[in-house]
Amino acid sequence: WDELSRLLQDEDDMFGADSMREKLIIFTEHRDTLQYLTAKTRSLLGNEDAVVTIHGGLVRDERRKIEEKFKQDKEVRILVATDAAGEGINLQRAHLMVNYDLPWNPNRLEQRFGRIHRIGQTEVCHLWNLVSNETREGAVYQRLLQKLEQERETLKGKVFDVLGDLTFDNRPLRDLLIEAVRYGNNPEVRARLTQVVDNAVNHETIEKLLHENALTEDSMDVHQVMSIREDMERMEAHKLQPHFIESFFLEAFKTLGGVIRSRESGRYEITSVPHAIRTRDMQIGFGEPVLKRYERVCFDKANSNLPGQVPASLIAPGHPLLEATIDLVRERSADLLKRGAVFVDENDDSLEPRLLFYIEDAVKDAVLLPNGSQRIISKHIHFVEINQEGQAYNAGYAPYLDYRSPKEEELELIQPFLQTQAWLQRGVEELALNYAIANIIPGHLSSVRERKTKLVEKTSKAVHDRLTEQIQYWDFRAGQLREQEQAGKPNTRLNSQLAYRRADELQERLKKRLAELENERQISAVPPVVTGGALVIPHRLLARLAGTPGLTSQDEQARREVELTAMRCVMEIEISLGHQPKDVSQLKCGYDIESLLPAELRDGEGNPLRFIEVKGRVRGAR
């Protein structure tokens, strides 16, 4: 504690340029040590709220809450944690870490450091390992750290890739440390232990482990890699752009009583999240908690991690704050969506109005949430249009972006027209639902099931192999201790019972985890619902209602020819550039041409596709 206390008060290491204390993580092995350090650190800082803790006694949701609080609440500066925070948690908000006491498995050192030293970290990360070098086991550990540092410099950091595979004369590090505690005063034992560490962490051994780990059965050829890259590009083109999310959230959040202020360009600070939004997250059971305040948020990934700036939480679909806000707005405005709206389509030269329906479908698995409902793992909004003849068809990804709201005088013309449209009362909502169930939703369900099944199978294999290996080890260890007990050695009966108990606990853990993964495999569709709708009026029909001359059939034919000519011109230009264009205008992707670029013509980031929307117009046409 004396050493840690000095470190915490070091102005050069612990405080930033703004004289504010940097965020810091302190790892310890034991719960009682955690409680001791928490009390001492809070007393040193003089602020009870500045220190939070994560340990194995906390449920998963509570851990997530503390994780988010550490990352987003600027009042919280230090996290004290056991290895419950060592895996699966992103603590990248900090770049400083202290190992107060060191684990007896060196692999956990890298697991801990990986919580802050990860892709996207913009700061140089620093890790302090506190070792009592005057103790017997401390001398062994210090020798290990010295050797690791030597090999790290030689192998440019790759030593950490195989840290968990190191063995010390075919024994775990734990056995060496126990031997050091018992017999470390013997010079011969100390010399032998030092030699064992040096032999384990030498250049040839690590090179061999790196070579073995590089041999993987999951290799992909270049064609598979490029196919995945192209799919990622298409998904990026189809996603809701940050501008729309930002404009919606700012307006909705303020309407619900939230306080958000602009900070750096494209970044905001949320100083108050309304109670209604925070409690809504618990009701919908989305997962990660909604906090009372956020030090920084942004809507564009490019603004999330900036050098010298506080990392910002990315507000995007899936973020609990956005999902809770959307759910509240939808609840309060559901009647408006169901009542519908009227849009004008400036690109439609026909005289036939049509209905646009918003249909929400979801895919669930068999995992139960705290509120007793099954977990939703994917949710989509689909758009289905129905014409006067009752024919339904897929309207594409975001057809509303091409429509506009009618003016007041246009609404006055449309209102009497609606009274004459009897087809609007002929079960159109059911028609839209039936079309979505038969033609759209199966594709969504199939893609989610395929992706999720592969992930579950891979995870199940990894869990089974890892826990089975541990079970076999403890069974074998228990057998050894039983033999020693029969030979009359003291204390072995108690130790053998503990070993058998550990094996049984791991067996139960394996059974429970595989059952959880089996629930994740049980994937099914949730019945779709119509969340809203709109009547779409072609601009030519609107012109006729206003008594103004619209386009003639010859005009329509000419316009169509111009559009086809424009498509042909763009296709020819793309081919002349050495690209491989494909007409996808009938697929309603949101663009008309998908053009594949050969590898030698791609930009610095290697993007393989260009998405082109073609607008062909006659000069002078409106």
**Contact of 256 with 277, CB cutoff 8 Å:** yes
As beta bridge partners, residue 364 has 376, 524
- Residue 235: pLDDT band (50, 70, 90) is confident
> Considering Cα of 277, then 283, then 285, then 288, what sign does the dihedral take?
positive
Residue reference for tokens 């010295």:
146
As beta bridge partners, residue 525 has 363
- How confident is the model at residue 621, as a pLDDT? 46
- How confident is the model at residue 298, as a pLDDT? 95
Residue 20 scores a pLDDT above 80? yes
pLDDT tens digits along 536-578: 999 888 888 888 765 566 666 777 788 889 999 999 999 999 9
* Helices assigned H by DSSP within 239-349: 242-255, 275-284, 320-339
- Which residue would you say has higher pLDDT here, 215 or 83? 83
Distance CA 571, CA 581 (A): 6
Distance CA 93, CA 91 (A): 5
As beta bridge partners, residue 379 has 362
Stated pTM of the model: 0.65
List Cα–Cα distances, 565 to 2, 142, 572, in angstroms: 79, 75, 10
Distance CA 109, CA 267 (A): 34
Residue 171 scores a pLDDT above 80? no
Residue reference for tokens 């009497």:
416
**Amino acid letter, residue 93:** R
Q: Say if residue 159 is exposed, middle or buried (CB neighbours under 10 Å; 0-12, 13-18, 19+).
A: buried
Q: Tokens representing 27?
A: 């790892």
DSSP letter for 291, please. Answer: P
Distance CA 402, CA 78 (A): 50
Residue 245 scores a pLDDT above 60? yes
The arithmetic mean of pLDDT across residues 380-387, rounded, is 91
The arithmetic mean of pLDDT across residues 495-499, rounded, is 81
**Contact of 162 with 209, CB cutoff 8 Å:** yes
> Considering Cα of 269, then 275, then 280, then 286, what sign does the dihedral take?
positive
**Contact of 378 with 465, CB cutoff 8 Å:** no
Q: Say if residue 475 is exposed, middle or buried (CB neighbours under 10 Å; 0-12, 13-18, 19+).
A: middle
**Amino acid letter, residue 422:** A
The arithmetic mean of pLDDT across residues 254-263, rounded, is 94
Distance CA 271, CA 257 (A): 11
Residue 422 scores a pLDDT above 80? yes
Q: Tokens representing 262?
A: 């602009």
Residues whose CB falls within 8 Å of the CB of residue 428, separated by 6 or more in sequence, listed in order: 355, 357, 386, 390
- Which residue would you say has higher pLDDT here, 394 or 108? 394
pLDDT tens digits along 280-324: 866 665 556 788 889 999 999 889 888 878 888 899 888 889 989
Residue reference for tokens 């979505």:
436
